[in-house]
């Protein structure tokens, strides 16, 4: 039979593990020691401690991996998002496809900070990039790939000018946008 206080401790440990699994906890402090807990509720203390150390180790490795990739200019972290380019210049559909096949989508800036992060990659490769934005068939409005309306824009002066059929959007090296035909070869920048 478990005492009231050990039940509380076990419940606390289970909560801590859940919290760490969801990565909402700052730092990687360990759970409280749970002597001899082989709980009826939640995880046994030894299992909770093991899970915690596995998660803490993964978190630490992930942190170092992201730092190393960012240092080498392989990725850019912006908020919770990760931006990366394969360095390839292809048409819009091919660019979107390669991002989706990699488990992401074409990057589209939702605010100034994200626009700057994408611009840094455009500058790094010195190549204009397609953004994950296109003109909707029905609406005739520029929207994100998922169909949602834009909540941030950074058009170059006099753009969009919709010359002919410019249904895609490219980013210039100064971070401003131009509506552009979708069949040009532009740098692929994905968001994960
Ligand atoms: C080209 C195209 C257009 C763009 C103008 C700007 O014609 O890239 O999309 O609007 O240049 O002068
Ligand atoms: Ca244009």
Fold of 81-191: Mannose-Binding Protein A; Chain A (3.10.100)
**How many angstroms does the Cα of residue 73 sit away from the middle of ligand 2?**
30
Q: Which helix (H) or strand (E) holds 88?
A: strand 81-90
**How many angstroms does the Cα of residue 181 sit away from the middle of ligand 1?**
10
Q: Tell me which residue has its CA closest to atom 9 in ligand 1.
A: 180
Ligand nearest to the CA of 184: 1
pLDDT tens digits, one per residue of 124-166: 999 999 999 999 999 999 999 999 999 999 999 999 998 879 9
- Bridge partners (DSSP) of residue 84 are 75, 190
Confidence of residue 21 (pLDDT cuts 50, 70, 90): very low
CATH 3.10.100.10 in the chain, residue ranges: 81-191
Pocket of ligand 1 (CB under 6 A): 159, 161, 163, 166, 178-180
Ligand 2 is an ion; residues with CB less than 5 A from it: 161, 166, 178-179
Distance CA 106, CA 83 (A): 9
**How many angstroms does the Cα of residue 177 sit away from the middle of ligand 2?**
8
- For the record, the structure tokens of 184 come out as 């040009």
pLDDT for 4 equals 42
pLDDT tens digits, one per residue of 54-79: 999 999 999 999 999 999 999 999 99
Provide the whole-model pTM.
0.79
| 177-180/105-106 β-pairing | unpaired
Q: How many residues does the chain have?
A: 192
Distance CA 49, CA 32 (A): 9
Q: Tell me which residue has its CA closest to atom 3 in ligand 1.
A: 180
């Amino acid at each position: 039979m478990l005492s009231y206080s050990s039940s509380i401790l076990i419940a606390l440990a289970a909560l801590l593990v859940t919290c760490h699994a969801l990565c909402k906890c700052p730092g990687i402090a360990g759970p409280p020691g749970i002597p001899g807990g082989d709980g009826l509720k939640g995880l046994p203390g030894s299992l909770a401690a093991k899970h915690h150390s596995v998660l803490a180790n993964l978190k630490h490795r992930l942190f170092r991996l992201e730092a190393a990739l960012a240092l080498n200019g392989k990725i850019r972290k912006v908020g919770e998002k990760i931006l990366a380019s394969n360095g390839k210049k292809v048409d819009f559909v091919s660019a979107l496809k390669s991002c989706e096949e990699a488990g992401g989508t074409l990057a589209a800036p939702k605010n100034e900070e994200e626009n700057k992060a994408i611009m840094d990659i455009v500058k790094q490769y010195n190549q204009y990039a397609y953004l994950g934005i296109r003109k909707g068939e029905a609406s005739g409005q520029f929207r994100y790939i998922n169909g949602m309306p834009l909540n941030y824009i950074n058009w170059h002066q006099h753009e969009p000018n919709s010359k002919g059929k410019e249904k895609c959007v490219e980013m210039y090296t100064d971070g401003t946008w131009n509506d552009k035909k979708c069949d040009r070869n532009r740098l692929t920048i994905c968001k994960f």
